[in-house]
Structure 1
Amino acid sequence: MQRTRNIALCVAAGAVLSSVSTAVPAVAAPSAPACKNVSLSWAGSGTAKPGGGSDQQETAGVQVKNSGDDTCSLLGAPSVMLTTNGAPETLSQQPGGNSVNLAPGKTAKFTITFLGDSGKNGNEIIRPDQAVVTLPGGTAKTLTWQWGSVTRQEAASHPGNFVSPIT
């Protein structure tokens, strides 16, 4: 009797585990390998002006072009660090995004949003000379920063400096 009860409990536990494992959604893998052969450039979109000087939130568009011979995939937001001869500023990444497949020669984009700063407000600022971009998958590229000073936001609870997912 006890053995029959133990077998029944094991069967019931297996049924519960089976139903739980099917209830957990699978994460879809990108349909192509991560992009390695890419070029980056500032896109013509955004509110930022070369030289900066505004004391407001600005946006700068970045274009990612597949310069390889095969289709590649990007998922999520890149990591962006603004660098200077002082301490760098690492921008937060917005969550989400869908897998973007790039055929050879095709482009995708993302947006860098930042708080411009003229230096007159007493904020802690960074005067970046480069934006080091690490794409999902690990490919790192550098762009020359042309948008002026930026208010430091790394320690902010709601940072005004962030990067959108790639679209």
Structure 2
Amino acid sequence: MAPEFRHARAFDAAEGAGAASDARTGDGAGAASAGSKRASAPSAPVSGSRCHTPELTAGFGADGGGIPDMKANQTVAAVRLENVGSGTCTLKGFPGVDIQDNMKAGHVVSLPRSSKAAAEVTLKPGAYTGFLITLLPADATTSKSQRIEPGMLIVTPPNEKEHIQLKWPFGGEILNQEGATHPGTFVDPIGAG
């Protein structure tokens, strides 16, 4: 069962397992972090305007889980985005998601999008939403040249240029599917969890 995101609900840093979080350049491991790190203080958006990267923090996990089983045939990781700005803002569309490969210096893989439709999500200050990343882990038969060891996840919110970096805390390796016509690793739109 895929993790569920409860839209426009205030994030409670004391929530249980699966709410692993840290922000901009966070480690993403462990329990939810009450004090997320941001590159700069968020500016006050016009109420209902698009959420901008400085107004968001990110972390791994969601209500009900979202921690991937890197030994499964296919697995899901949940990424959570929280509005830490002072006003209500909206997100709609797909985030840009790149994975930096720990095995090959400088190798970055941009994840393709799923076929799911995107809906607009409105976030009040302190509310969160998220998105899912479906992963195809490498298995014992996967050659070394076809393996990617995720090191850093680079998340760019929809219609933004600035990104948030999350250290990959789950270990494991995924199958390199660059150029695949039906990849098993892909990203869903914001709020489609």
Q: Same fold (TM over 0.5)?
A: yes
Q: Which runs of 5+ in 1 are unaligned?
A: 1-30
Q: Does 1:61 align with 2:78?
A: yes
Residue 50 of structure 2 aligns to a residue in which SS? coil
In structure 1, the partner of 2:149 is 127
Which residue in the other structure is 2:110 paired with? 90
Across the aligned residues of Structure 1 and Structure 2, the Cα RMSD in angstroms comes to 1.8
* Counterpart Cα distance in 2 of 1:48 and 1:55: 8
In structure 2, the gaps of 5 or more residues are: 1-47
Which residue number in structure 2 is paired with residue 71 of structure 1? 88
C-alpha distance in 2 between matches for 1:68 and 1:34: 9
The match for 1:4 is none
The residue number in structure 2 matching 1:41 is: 59
Return the offset for 1:144: 0.8
The separation in 1 between residues aligned to 2:94 and 2:114, in whole angstroms, is 7
How many Å separate the matches in 2 of 1:108 and 1:98?
12
Residues in 2 aligned to 1:68 and 1:145: alpha-carbon distance in whole angstroms: 25
Measure the CA separation in 2 of the matches of 1:157 and 1:117.
18
Letter in 2 for 1:165: P
Question: Higher Cα Rg: structure 1 or 2?
Answer: 1
In the superposition, the TM-score normalised over structure 2's length comes to: 0.64
Q: TM-score, normalised by structure 1?
A: 0.73
Cα distance in 1 for partners of 2:78, 2:59 equals 9
**Residues 150/161 of structure 1: CA separation in 2 closer, same or farther (3 Å cut):** same
| Other-structure match for 2:177 | 153
Say if 1:82 and 1:132, in contact at 8 Å, map to a contact too. Answer: yes
Percent identity over the alignment? 30
Instruction: Flag the structure with higher helix content.
Output: 1
* Equivalent pair of 2:156/2:163 in contact (CA under 8 Å): yes
* In 2: Cα distance, 1:119 partner to 1:80 partner: 26
What's the counterpart of residue 131 of structure 2? 110
Q: Following TM superposition, by how much is the alpha carbon of 1:87 offset from its aligned partner in structure 2, in angstroms?
A: 1.5
AA paired with 2:127?
A: K
By how many angstroms is 1:32 displaced? Answer: 2.1
Q: Residue by residue, what CA displacement relative to the aligned partner does 1:11-58 show, whole Å, maximum 9, x if unpaired?
A: xxxxxxxxxxxxxxxxxxxx5223331100101423514xx3x15111
Instruction: Give aligned pairs, total.
Output: 134
